[in-house]
């Protein structure tokens, strides 16, 4: 069952869905093919964007959108100011290619946005689809 209020589990899932789960039982509100193997779609009245690998029949990404009400541990939520998120989780670092923040220790999520958390992405960073989203982990000492 989909829940827009479910806790966001870094590296595991959100909305009552888990990475690696089958795509078969999903009741898409809207979905589209991004490529031959990648399908994307919305659930939970558009609050959850799902990325799936059709050839493997599994969810490889879940993104909490504007209407998502669940939080990450530490109270991080969509709509929060990025500076406040950094105060709550000082280990967050700027992503080198995307606008947003990530936690280098666990790499379990990305907070996407310029000034506020516009969405929270939990994905299988090992899947080829997410090559563009993997931060460079060999970073220099970070000094905010």
Full pLDDT tens readout for the chain, 144 residues: 899 999 999 999 999 999 999 999 999 999 999 999 999 999 999 999 999 999 999 999 999 999 999 999 889 999 999 999 999 999 999 998 899 999 887 789 999 999 999 999 999 989 999 988 888 765 554 455
Domain annotation covers residue 96: yes
Is residue 69 in a domain?
yes
Residue 61: inside a domain, yes or no? yes
pTM for this model (two decimals): 0.92
Residue 7, domain member (yes or no):
no
Quick check: 14 and 122 in contact, CB under 8 A?
Answer: yes
Instruction: Tell me whether residue 4 is in a domain.
Output: no
Q: Residue 107: what pLDDT? A: 81
> Is residue 141 in some structural domain?
no
Q: How many domains would you assign to the chain?
A: 1
Domain span at residue 107 reads 13-125
Predicted pLDDT of residue 138 = 53
Q: Is residue 54 part of a domain?
A: yes
């Amino acid at each position: 069952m989909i829940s827009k209020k479910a806790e966001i589990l870094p590296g595991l899932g959100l909305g009552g869905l888990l990475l690696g789960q089958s795509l078969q039982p999903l009741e898409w509100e809207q979905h589209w093919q991004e490529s031959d193997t990648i399908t994307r779609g919305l659930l939970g009245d558009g609050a959850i964007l799902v990325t799936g690998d059709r050839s493997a029949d599994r969810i490889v990404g879940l993104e909490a959108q504007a209407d998502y009400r669940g939080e990450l541990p530490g109270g991080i939520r969509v709509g929060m100011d990025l500076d406040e998120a950094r105060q709550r989780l000082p280990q967050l670092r700027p992503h080198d290619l995307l606008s947003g923040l990530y936690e280098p220790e666990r790499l379990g999520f990305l907070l996407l946005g310029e000034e506020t958390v516009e969405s929270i992405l939990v994905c299988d960073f090992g899947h080829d689809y997410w090559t563009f989203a993997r931060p460079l982990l060999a970073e220099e000492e970070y000094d905010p």
